[in-house]
Structure 1
Amino acid sequence: MAGEETPDFDVPVGLFQDLEDLKAHVARLTAQVGALSQSADTGPGEAPADETPDVGGEAAGEDEEQYPPFILLLDPPQYDDELRALIEWVEGVLVPGYLAEPSADARWCHLWFEHPPAVARLHACWLAWQELTDPATCGYTGPSVWHRDHLDPCIRELRASGGPFAGCTKGEHQIDHRMPGTVPSAWTRTGD
């Protein structure tokens, strides 16, 4: 059996891309296991000897990734900083690359950052974009996954007729359009 030749197979190009994706995924998982095993070496509430707690009281190693919190959980000035970065991404990447001219069927508000539901959805989409466009962490299929699982549903919800921009038209912005007014009730009597 040692003298057998390996058969000559034609390997599809997609298989190599899948292999690279798997390698990136294994590398990321290995790093996570290393970080978890390092934290398991210390007792609960203890920082590892080579780390010092930061101002917030949380220990963060140089190799440990820091994930940004969801924007709606932030208070000023962190919220303002995160919103500025989000605006740069939306206006610099998303609007010119993915959003065609708004219409009645595809709404968009130029003051989208004043609509909290839009800010929440776009921030989540941006966080996913940051993770899924780095081939070192997600391989070559990350952008495809981002489009399918994050961008398309986000834009579909934002631009829907009942979405956060439902009351906004071209050149006219309405932030309170979804707030119900007082509805007169048949059960109350006005002076007899």
Structure 2
Amino acid sequence: MADEEVPDFEVPVGLFQDLEDLKAQVARLNAQVTTLTEGADAEPGEASAEAEADAGEEPADEDEWQYPPFILLLDPPLYDDELRALIEWVEGVLVPGYLAEPSADARWCHLWFEHTPAVARLHALWLAWQELTDPASCGHTGPSVWHRDHLDPCMRELRSSSGPFAGCTKGEHQIDHRMPGTVPSAWRQETS
């Protein structure tokens, strides 16, 4: 058997990228499973130092790392701070880099932050961008995954003729075309 030849075949370059993406996903899932199985003493959304070490990262202080909160779950002043940071990202990265001139088929409102559904979607998009543009946590395929799985679907929903900007036209802002944006109490975290 020592005389057998090893078959000669080429491994596609994309296979290595897919492998790195899968390894990052497994590390994140392991961290989530560890966090969920550790017990009720851990705060929801808090990553443990052991889970981070298992994921191949340096352990951090308990207070140093937490999963970012979804913006609609925040109350002022935390909501205001998160919205300010989101506005900086949308106006500094998303709008100049990805949005073409608005049209009837691709709507956009310059007062997007007054549309609760748009804030929710853009915040989720921003959270994904933060995670998937960090090669340490997601490998080198993260930006591609962000474009395919997050940016494109989000922009389709936001900019469609039935999206949150449906009543807005160039130079005219409308928020009354939607029901008032109240967050259901089930979405809010109970603070005691």
TM-score (norm. length: structure 2): 0.72
> Structure 1: which amino acid aligns with 2:15?
L
> Structure 2: which amino acid aligns with 1:127?
L
Q: 1:177 to 1:28 in 2, by over 3 A?
A: closer
Q: 1:36 to 1:159 in 2, by over 3 A?
A: closer
For structure 2, which runs of at least 5 residues remain unmatched after alignment?
A: 50-59, 181-192
Q: Is the 8 A contact 2:32 2:47 kept in 1?
A: no
Aligned-partner Cα distance in 1 for 2:104–2:35: 50
For structure 1, which runs of at least 5 residues remain unmatched after alignment?
A: 48-52, 181-192
What's the CA shift for 1:31? 4.6
Partner of 2:175: 175
Matched, 1:76 2:76: yes
DSSP 3-state at the match of 1:101? coil
DSSP 3-state at the match of 2:140? coil
Q: How does 1:58-77 map to 2 (within 5 A)?
A: 62=60, 65-77=65-77
- Once structures 1 and 2 are overlaid, which stretch shifts more, 102-111 or 24-33? 24-33
What's the CA shift for 1:134? 1.9
Q: 1:177 to 1:142 in 2, by over 3 A?
A: same
Aligned-partner Cα distance in 2 for 1:167–1:119: 16
Q: Is the 8 A contact 2:160 2:166 kept in 1?
A: yes
- Once structures 1 and 2 are overlaid, which stretch shifts more, 132-141 or 101-110? 132-141
Q: Is the 8 A contact 2:106 2:159 kept in 1?
A: yes
Q: 1:170 to 1:21 in 2, by over 3 A?
A: same
Partner of 1:188: none
Aligned-partner Cα distance in 1 for 2:47–2:93: 34
Q: Is the 8 A contact 2:71 2:79 kept in 1?
A: yes
Aligned-partner Cα distance in 2 for 1:4–1:179: 71
Aligned-partner Cα distance in 2 for 1:23–1:150: 20
Q: 1:33 to 1:168 in 2, by over 3 A?
A: closer
- Segments of 4+ moved more than 4 angstroms: 2-5, 29-37, 58-61
What's the CA shift for 1:6? 3.4
Q: Is the 8 A contact 1:22 1:139 kept in 2?
A: no
Q: Percent identity?
A: 85
Aligned-partner Cα distance in 2 for 1:178–1:160: 15
Q: Is the 8 A contact 2:31 2:47 kept in 1?
A: no
Q: How does 1:17-36 map to 2 (within 5 A)?
A: 17-32=17-32
What's the CA shift for 1:141? 2.7
DSSP 3-state at the match of 1:139? helix
Counting matched residue pairs gives 166
C-alpha RMSD of the superposition: 2.9
Give CA-to-partner distance per residue, 1:136-155, whole Å, 9 cap, x none.
22223322222222211211
Q: How does 1:82-121 map to 2 (within 5 A)?
A: 82-121=82-121
Q: Which protein has the larger Cα radius of gyration, Structure 1 or Structure 2? A: 1
Give CA-to-partner distance per residue, 1:1-26, whole Å, 9 cap, x none.
35655344322211222232233334
> Structure 2: which amino acid aligns with 1:23?
K
